[in-house]
Amino acid sequence: MTYLYNDPTAFTDEMIEGFVAAYPERVRAVSGGVVRATKVPEGQVSVVIGGGTGHYPAFGGLVGPGLAHGAAMGNVFASPSTQQIVSVAKAANSGGGILFCYGNYAGDVLNFDEAQVRLIAEGIDCRTVTVTDDISSAPAADAAKRRGIAGDLCVFKAAAYAAEQGRALEAVWRFARFANARTRSFGVAFSGCTLPGASEPLFAVPEGRMDVGMGIHGEPGLRQEDVGSAEEIAQLLVAGLLAETPDGAGCRVAVLTNGLGSVKYEELFVLHRSVNRLLHEAGLEIVEPDVGEMCTSFEMAGASLTLFWMDEDLEAAWRAPADSPAYRKGSIAPQELADGGGSASANDADQAVWASQESRTAAVAVGRAVAAAADAIDATADDLGKLDQVAGDGDHGIGMRRGAAAARKAAADALAAGAGAGSVLSAAGEAWSDRAGGTSGALWGLILGTLGSQIGDRERPDAQRVAAGVTAAAAAVQRFGKAQVGDKTLVDTLVPFAAALSRSASSGQPLAEAWAEAAAVARGAAAATADLIPKIGRARPHAEKSVGTPDPGAVSMATIVEAVAPVLGAQEP
């Protein structure tokens, strides 16, 4: 379990503060994560990595010369938000463009892709390489759907090597893609892990059994077996990886024997002893192997093996020096510290926006609605987390609580600045997305932001305008997240709610009545998700476990719209 923490919702922020204090000559904090503390040549491509907290040394521990230029660091087991990624990328940018490189998880893809769109719109060129090394997470024919685990290190290092050679962004991107195509990982797990503040493990493996191929968030593997000896586990891992030898690969490989948290170095050396022999017997030549912790999952007990098949250029990248807080190789010349400036991102909430008096009056009700939503989420966060544990990673309640609290504060600040109804909603959405991170943070930021832009700051919003805004938000969520009704997501509540609200508003009902009726529809739709099989997102690999349990995102959506109904009723004449 996690023993050292204060407020669980502040765990990531406090961890980053302590991490930077421990390595002030290697990393510096910026909004959303860390960047190199040392100067980077002008015009060099910047490699920006990132993901959720809980996997150290991924991701902040791999920032430094010879490795990443910056890392966006999300909340525990949650992707960084779009705002965090943009902030870190701008702080790391040296004029050569940005290469985003991260593990292939739904929330990370959503937020990094949106960050790339924003940066390109601002004139900063970007490319993306998602790491897909985990062979247990999808068959070879669907390799693009695989997860990224300890093989991240091989791809990050190749990308950084190409960037520091002065190659252009397109060439760095191609080289990183080639490195990913030559990287394979396979692991086993003996136990789960407990998140900060949680009273029980996020997931479990039966005593005396091991999960072959389990993911670092508890995603199911290929099968369960009795725990074997180190020799038997080495044979399992080596055989699985050699069966996936990349086309055209030679005989020279880098080898990573990785511990997931509780399996310590002495045990890993015993495992690596067998791995080393088996690979030599297979005719492979091992180049600068690494044994240790490259990608962890708090105190999860388990180990993984990564093979990185190298040509001459990839081998040069692998052998190149590196100097980050958690990974060092060779000798790096003394580096000059960079100026200690922060992120270049702007704070839109500080910009004054004109609003009519009617909209400012309506904004007061909007602020109360956001506060009511935050209260409702705070009261149900633990239950939402338990729902999420059934088929996800258990962090939905924590993330929603963090996002809703940030939205409440941002709405209050916007109200104090004289903002209209639309701007208050937009400010709340931006703050929700930024603080919550993950898929749900991105979606709630999109919902509130879309609704805010539809309502605007010129008129007092009536039922039809609000209904049109909710409908637009539902369409935006489906476009952005790619989920449809029936996929067992938030969409299964949002779409019926929007349709019911539009019907009632079109029939002439006032906003409070229309909203209350639609909220009842939303609650029924959320309950009905218990019968669905997830087809997208983190719960998809646990499809059979989720049947009989409603989707936590659908439930939290219903909880929020129900909490808002009394506030709207109090505003009616």
Provide the CATH number for the domain around residue 412: 1.25.40.340
Residue 552: C-alpha distances to residues 394, 530, 559 (Å): 10, 10, 10
Residue 239 has pLDDT above 90, yes or no: yes
Residue 323 has pLDDT above 50, yes or no: yes
Q: Are 559 and 476 in a shared domain?
A: yes
Q: Are 474 and 429 in a shared domain?
A: yes
The closest of 196, 207, 158 to 180, measured between CA atoms, is 158
| pLDDT confidence band for 350 (50 / 70 / 90) | very low
Q: Are 95 and 241 in a shared domain?
A: no
Q: What is the pLDDT of residues 29-39, one digit of tens each?
A: 999 999 999 99
Residue 302 has pLDDT above 70, yes or no: yes
Residue 156: C-alpha distances to residues 18, 191, 285 (Å): 24, 28, 22
Q: Are 364 and 510 in a shared domain?
A: yes
Instruction: Report the alpha-carbon distance of residue 359 to residue 362 in Å, rounded.
Output: 5
425 touches 384 (CB < 8 A)? no
| pLDDT confidence band for 397 (50 / 70 / 90) | confident
Q: Are 217 and 68 in a shared domain?
A: no
Instruction: Report the alpha-carbon distance of residue 447 to residue 454 in Å, rounded.
Output: 11
Residue 336 has pLDDT above 50, yes or no: yes
Residue 540 has pLDDT above 80, yes or no: no
| pLDDT confidence band for 347 (50 / 70 / 90) | very low
For residue 462, being part of any structural domain is answered with: yes
Q: Which residues are catalytic?
A: 217
Peptide bond into 59 cis (omega under 30): yes
**DSSP for 450-504, written as a single string:** HHHHHH-SSS---HHHHHHHHHHHHHHHHHHH---TTSSSTHHHHHHHHHHHHHH
Q: Are 359 and 291 in a shared domain?
A: no
Tokens of 51: 């993901």
For residue 330, being part of any structural domain is answered with: no
Q: Are 299 and 380 in a shared domain?
A: no
| pLDDT confidence band for 280 (50 / 70 / 90) | very high
Sign (positive/negative) of CA torsion 14, 20, 23, 27? positive
For residue 340, being part of any structural domain is answered with: no
Q: Are 306 and 378 in a shared domain?
A: no
Find the helix or strand (DSSP H, E) in which 384 lies: helix 357-391
Provide the CATH number for the domain around residue 191: 3.30.1180.20
Q: Are 364 and 318 in a shared domain?
A: no
Residue 395 has pLDDT above 80, yes or no: no
Residue 524 has pLDDT above 80, yes or no: yes
- For 413, the domain range is 349-571
Comparing 114-123, 193-202, 346-355, the range with the smallest average pLDDT is 346-355
Q: What is the pLDDT of residues 353-374, one digit of tens each?
A: 689 999 999 999 999 999 999 9
Residue 297 has pLDDT above 80, yes or no: yes
Q: Are 230 and 370 in a shared domain?
A: no
For residue 328, being part of any structural domain is answered with: no
Q: Are 275 and 127 in a shared domain?
A: no
Q: What is the pLDDT of residues 71-104, one digit of tens each?
A: 999 999 999 999 999 999 999 999 999 999 999 9
| pLDDT confidence band for 392 (50 / 70 / 90) | low
pLDDT at 537: 63
Q: Which amino acid is at 546?
A: S
Q: Are 269 and 367 in a shared domain?
A: no
